[in-house]
Chains A and B, each alone.
Chain A
């Protein structure tokens, strides 16, 4: 078996599994801080119940993210030694700064955030929550900086086939970095909003009408309704940035085979790379030209300009459509739910039923978006600098096949267990409602540490 393909599948599987959990923890940390600050301000214990329900989800997601992240840091060496040998001088410091400034911060204060409520003052506990949330966001900053540099590398020079940094500011804030960072942070916010709204809707369907359920539901729905239009705008800006710096990716996303004006917006097609044409195409005339160039006669780059040097069209085209389609669905669902909650102060059952599977819509859109941009970078690992095929290591295909098979089974089982626990926690909260005994801290004055 070909170690290149197997290594790619393995890294893809690993990073796909990994991103599910940071996508939750990045925004959930801030959401927990919001619950806590609302409690501090109002003294309403329903906020704290919401906090205690969701802090468990945070802890579990964090652990899943940590273990799958550790795996990736090893895979650079085990499967892609050519990567660090060529661009290690740039990737290295960025990764090192992530570990030093973000990883340790999160890990050290996570313990206090999760278990330290009775051991430190309320102010310190709030500070620990801020530091953990800040750490996850900082972590995203460094990783996005590195990923964006791989997409749009600047600020370096090649000496003897090895990249050397010349301008660190340009490397960190490379052309696509601000767009990608904003897009990802918003994606995380939407993922968490829909997760909270969806699991709250599940509690609602099981007859839970407790105050903590309503508070979580409203927070999820309103946050989603606010974020989704911002995300659509940010995504559009990101697309225009990609058009400028990686036109071959845009050509693949739009399945546009020939450069020219009056390019239609393809809604459905089966791109055929051998024949270099779209089968069963359904398109809006001039649509792509209008979106990308704001004029029907605007020239849109086509794949013919990048023969032999552009990404595979079919997966990029479809991943992009799945992301956008999910985004539109998010807009419809979150605005309908916001309307009913705001105007009618209720949630129709059919809408709640739709919201439950939508709990995972953020995951779907995030994955589809990352597939678009990462497959869209191929055949390059670092655009114009290093091809994926040149970075793979000398490990035998049979060994990679073995590890890949075990990882896939492990990830599938862990994902099932994870989703099972989410549903279990939601149903348990639904059963307990507002009648369960309050967590110990709420009996005592919150500001007083109980230990020592």
Chain B
């Protein structure tokens, strides 16, 4: 492999796309998770939970637009293949995101009597979007093969990803709230962790079993040795977080952000494992990132803009989170 631009550019864009997906999953993960947890929360708690994500959700969802945008612009062949194969789950994801997104605003603006209806729609949209994403992950892992057993596996991953998002949501609530709601969120986190762990194990086992190529990438010496930190570290973090749920919240609210950061780390490890499994393919076992990539001159002009703009985006995103830092208070338009 020679290191010239036509080789490097698709690689860089695969990395950027992976980064965008990871950031999306972590950031919108807690938004969607809070939507899922709506089912278990009281009216007043729901308002606080919305206040904990209200100023951020829009920017969080933009990372999905960036991820699918990068897939679209950098790997147009893969974009078409993947999205036509996943037509119905993508459609459900979009319906879920539409319902979730508009419910945010409607619930705060309709006459008081109608608020309940939009709370339910908010829950429903978040659940549909999370399940659809999980299902898509499951089908993708199996190489976009949609037999009956594939669909069953997709359904399992769907449930587990929804649970993982619920865990993220609970962790965010622990960080952004106090008192009874915070204590409740600790319990939510513990329950959701069980399914999250199950999901990660299921995906980790299914990926190599579904593809001999991926099996060979993991289970050969010495790759096994270099890769062993991924599963071991994930397991340690899971166990540690599980123990923490029996001690939170602590006095002075110490470590309120720790569960969220731990989960983000676990997500990152899992994502790294997936990336290793599928590299260099963007459509599993069919299209590599080089086969699917746009022309180098088009990638170059996007990269030039990205290099300048992405740090600025990250900078002002941090600024926005800082402005709304601290415990969530009621959101008002003044």
Contacts and interface: CB of A to CB of B under 8 A. Distances in A.
A78 B91 contact: yes
Contacts of B281: none
B94 interface: yes
Contacts of B294: 88-89, 92
A395 B87 contact: yes
B332 A439 contact: yes
Interface string A403-423: 100110010001001001100
B220 to A, nearest CB: 35
The B contact surface, by secondary structure, is helix
A81 B80 contact: yes
B72 A88 contact: yes
Contacts of B55: 111-112, 114-116
A118 B95 CA distance: 34
Nearest to B118: A417
Contacts of B74: 92
Nearest to A72: B94
B323 A394 contact: no
A77 interface: yes
B76 interface: yes
A55 interface: yes
A170 interface: no
A60 interface: yes
A84 B317 CA distance: 30
A56 interface: yes
Interface string A308-342: 00000000000000000000000000000000000
Given A55-B333, A119-B323, A165 B76 contact: no
B102 A67 contact: yes
Contacts of B306: 96, 100
B334 A104 contact: no
B70 A76 contact: no
B221 interface: no
A85 interface: yes
Nearest to A439: B334
A92 B72 contact: yes
Q: For the side of the interface on B, what is the size category? A: 35 or more
Contacts of A95: 69, 72-73
A85 B320 contact: no
B146 interface: no
B238 interface: no
A66 interface: yes
A243 interface: no
B305 A100 contact: yes
Nearest to A81: B80
B62 A103 contact: yes
Contact of A421 (B110, B313, B323): B110
B122 to A, nearest CB: 12
Interface string B39-58: 00000000000000011101
Contacts of A452: 326
A93 B309 CA distance: 14
Contact of B324 (A92, A115, A399): A115
B83 A74 contact: yes
Interface stretch (B206-214, B243-251, B252-260, B295-303): B295-303
A136 to B, nearest CB: 13
Contacts of A99: 62, 65-66, 69
Nearest to B330: A115
9 contacts: A73-B69, A81-B76, A100-B306, A103-B66, A111-B324, A116-B324, A417-B106, A439-B333, A440-B332
Given A93-B302, A112-B55, A399-B87, 9 more contacts: A81-B83, A84-B76, A92-B294, A96-B306, A105-B316, A108-B313, A111-B58, A116-B324, A164-B297
